[in-house]
Structure 1
Amino acid sequence: MKILVTGCNGQVGHCIVQQLSDSTVEFLAVDRDHLDITDQGTVFNIVRKFQPHIIINAAAYTAVDKAEEEVELSYRINRDGPKYLAQAANEIGAAILHISTDYVFSGEFDGEYKETDVTSPQGIYGESKLAGEIAVSEACERNIILRTAWVFGEHGNNFVKTMLRLGKERDKLGIVSDQYGGPTYAGDIAAALIKIAESIYDRQSIQYGIYHFSGLPHITWFDFAKTIFDVALDKQLLSKKPQLSPLSTEQYPTPAKRPANSRLSTEKIKQEFGISASDWQKALINLENYKL
């Protein structure tokens, strides 16, 4: 099996490369310096030359607030780039695995979002990611779109690292307590994508389309922060925990609106591929590896 990995220096892309390096899979990992996915000609040249069986697109514009200003760039990276990759995959008969987000939903629904639920993004980031989903699905029939949420890991910038840094700098912290979701370990997303790729390569009968993959149990940012600090104190990464105060979304305004509910149902991916939800609590066991 040959896999092309884009966005190899991002949180998920880095983990994909790590895990593929320990396997017998032949892969080509590229970042923005080696492949600008918004350059259609370059995308087609690399795909035609390498001839992958699977393309895993982990490249994305993820600066949620900045996207409100950098609209054109957001769409180029989150819609046009994935479209070119999907078109190139389709041309050579490859499959494409594309990462998307909970931000395609409004966040106003009470329960867990299923793959078939109506999308209604509330900002440019979510709109551009939804446009990417549509572009990929239209350009290549053999597509898997993996929606995830609240990604964290040892590599890159994320909420866990921010909390560890602020925990060392401050005695008191206010954390949003009315947004719910499932923290998702980047290494688990990588493992899920590789397992799906193997399933596609090994057998003909695959239900292509949209899947949700995120962490359980669902939790608020406030309780996630509390857990992070409990683990950090237990591992002596902090000498003391900062005093936490719950904040409402209104008390912590941001340029882009965040979904109040990011709970994603992971039943479909479990039934089709045998992939269980990310265990974010287990992922915090290696907290000492989260270099700031």
Structure 2
Amino acid sequence: MDKILITGGYGFFASRFKEFYSSQYDILAVDKDILDIQNEKKVMNFIKNYKPEYIIHTAAIASTGFCNENPEIAHSVNVNGTVNVAKAAKEAGSKLVFISTEQIFNGNKARGPYTEDDKANPDTVYGQNKLKAEEKIREIIDELWVLRFTWLFGLPERGKGINPNIVWGVIKSLQKGEVIDVSDNEYRGLTYVYDLLGQFSKIFDLPYDTYHVGSKNDYSRYEIVNFILEELGLENRIEKVVNKNTEKYAKKARDIRLNTDKIREHGVKFLDTKEAIKKCLSDFNYNLK
């Protein structure tokens, strides 16, 4: 049974990965309390002693606001920490999967979907960190997959992390009686975490390279929120609970969708976003349509 070390072990993706593949791999999930990735010596010793076949590096400070306000801390974790993991992976003979993000395209003038060959122009510290980390680790290790994730969504589960995501955000707003203020000028890829997990083992058979990962989505965030409400059987409440924000991103639409044709050609195929939302709601018995 292959050994996998996954960093950011209590996070949204990693905590689900550990359970999903617990019978297929020998998985050690670590978080900052166990392994501070900023400490190069400790990272090197830890990974060389454990000798995993694969390292999945998900650990990061992903809060855009925090990173913008604390650029030195963000760089230490998101860039230097990633470099430490890559160096240790090389020394240990481990293959490395680095989880990057669609947000490296945040500052691009042209609209998505973006291919792996499109030049990225991040305008946030977090996006800049991820792009810099990609560049640095490519110089360190050859046995490397860089996976740029679209926005993952899912629902809370006992013992697992949860991230801010569009499906859970809509449900929380309904529970609180809040109006959902959402832009009709924002476009993002939206991927059900279990659609990704169900195919993740295929990653290890891909050629080492950079891949855009996730579902295709042709709809604005506003349209997707309406769709979620329709699937919840609440189409008659849309006008009351959703505010269509036409001012946000009015001057320039935010479009950071990823073109995922490359990974699809290797047999890793995702549901489109609406089908994925249906699947998520059905899995958790929320589909009341």
Instruction: Label 1:71 to 1:87 Cα distance change in 2 as closer, same or farther (>3 A).
Output: same
Partner of 1:117: 118
After TM superposition, the runs of 4+ consecutive aligned structure 1 residues lying more than 4 A away are 238-242
Deviation of residue 9 (structure 1)? Answer: 1.1
Partner of 1:262: 256
Higher mean displacement: 36-45 or 122-131? 36-45
Partner of 2:280: 283
CA separation in 1, counterparts of 2:178 and 2:71?
37
CA contact (8 A) 1:16 1:194 kept: no
CA separation in 2, counterparts of 1:265 and 1:115?
8
Partner of 2:129: 128
CA separation in 1, counterparts of 2:58 and 2:197?
9
Partner of 1:46: 46
Deviation of residue 67 (structure 1)? Answer: 1.3
Partner of 2:159: none
Structure 1 counterpart SS, 2:110: coil
Partner of 2:163: 157
Instruction: Label 1:91 to 1:140 Cα distance change in 2 as closer, same or farther (>3 A).
Output: same
CA separation in 2, counterparts of 1:91 and 1:228?
47
Q: Does 1:243 align with 2:232?
A: no
Deviation of residue 248 (structure 1)? Answer: 3.6
Q: How many corresponding residue pairs?
A: 273
CA separation in 2, counterparts of 1:111 and 1:76?
30
Q: Deviations over 1:142-174 (max 9, x none)?
A: 110100122212241322222211112236332
Instruction: Label 1:189 to 1:80 Cα distance change in 2 as closer, same or farther (>3 A).
Output: farther
Deviation of residue 239 (structure 1)? Answer: 10
Q: Mind listing any 5+ residue stretches in structure 2 that lack a counterpart?
A: 157-161
CA separation in 2, counterparts of 1:249 and 1:127?
26
CA contact (8 A) 1:13 1:190 kept: no
* TM-score where L is the length of structure 2: 0.86
Deviation of residue 83 (structure 1)? Answer: 1.0
Partner of 1:174: 181
Q: Deviations over 1:70-90 (max 9, x none)?
A: 111211221111111111111
Deviation of residue 15 (structure 1)? Answer: 1.6
Higher mean displacement: 23-32 or 102-111? 102-111
CA separation in 2, counterparts of 1:135 and 1:77?
14
Partner of 1:95: 95
Deviation of residue 133 (structure 1)? Answer: 0.9
Instruction: Label 1:7 to 1:239 Cα distance change in 2 as closer, same or farther (>3 A).
Output: farther
CA separation in 2, counterparts of 1:182 and 1:221?
10
CA separation in 2, counterparts of 1:77 and 1:259?
30
Q: Deviations over 1:236-277 (max 9, x none)?
A: xx995543122146379xxxxx981111111111223x1013
Structure 1 counterpart SS, 2:265: helix
Q: Does 1:271 align with 2:265?
A: yes
Instruction: Label 1:226 to 1:25 Cα distance change in 2 as closer, same or farther (>3 A).
Output: same
CA contact (8 A) 1:12 1:189 kept: no
Deviation of residue 110 (structure 1)? Answer: 2.8
Q: Does 1:185 align with 2:192?
A: yes
Instruction: Label 1:278 to 1:12 Cα distance change in 2 as closer, same or farther (>3 A).
Output: farther
Structure 1 counterpart SS, 2:155: coil
Deviation of residue 231 (structure 1)? Answer: 2.4
Instruction: Label 1:76 to 1:161 Cα distance change in 2 as closer, same or farther (>3 A).
Output: same
Backbone CA RMSD of aligned residues = 2.5
What amino acid sits opposite 1:245 in the alignment? N
CA contact (8 A) 1:12 1:187 kept: no
Q: Mind listing any 5+ residue stretches in structure 1 that lack a counterpart?
A: 200-205, 253-257
CA separation in 1, counterparts of 2:203 and 2:95?
11
Deviation of residue 287 (structure 1)? Answer: 4.3
Partner of 2:146: 145
Deviation of residue 188 (structure 1)? Answer: 3.0
Partner of 1:227: 227
